[in-house]
Structure 1
Amino acid sequence: MRFLTSITPLDGYRLACTFDNGIEKIADITQYMQAEAFKPLHNPNVFNNVQNRQYYVEWLDGEVDLTADTLWHIGIALQRV
């Protein structure tokens, strides 16, 4: 099971994720935004108030969440030069 060491909200319903193994990924959660549970995240102030709970991220005191494993699987790794 993976866990997050940091999470940063980005424009376009994306999250910059750093995982416990040091890998950084950008996770685009647009595919979830049509679900009823994710509708509150259409408000940028709500989306930007994402909380890192290590094994998952949450918004609105747990009303909306995504696991670190989900973010890992949908995320695209950043290429370092």
Structure 2
Amino acid sequence: MIIQEVKPLEAGVLQVVAEDGRSGTVDVSPYLDSPAFAPLKNWDAFVQIRNGKYYVEWTCGADLSADTLEAKMKWS
């Protein structure tokens, strides 16, 4: 999957649109208890996300691959 667009939503959820037009949400909140993702419990940090097309990355250094997002996606 190639990520066309990613938008942070409240409660640790991402809205994701794939390049092929599919879209859905991914709940990343289960990751927030790990040390690498813990800074993302803060909304200001969570919204600082960058779309790398094949991954998403936050300024704190945490990242998730497009494959992981696709596997966890709840498609709309």
TM over 0.5: yes
2: CA distance between counterparts of 1:75 and 1:14? 10
- Residues 43-71 of structure 1: per-residue CA shift (max 9 Å, x gap): 1001011110100000016x110011111
- Residues 12-62 of structure 1: per-residue CA shift (max 9 Å, x gap): 10000001111001000111111010011011001011110100000016x
Matched residues, number: 76
Aligned to 2:55: 56
Q: Which amino acid is 1:4 matched to?
A: I
Q: Which runs of 4+ in 1 moved over 6 A?
A: none
Paired-residue identity, %: 32
Aligned to 1:74: 72
TM-score (norm 2): 0.95
Do the aligned partners of 1:25 and 1:72 also contact (CA within 8 Å) in 2? no
Structure 2 portions without partners, runs of 5+: none
Q: Which amino acid is 2:57 matched to?
A: E
RMSD: 1.0
Structure 1 portions without partners, runs of 5+: none
TM-score (norm 1): 0.89
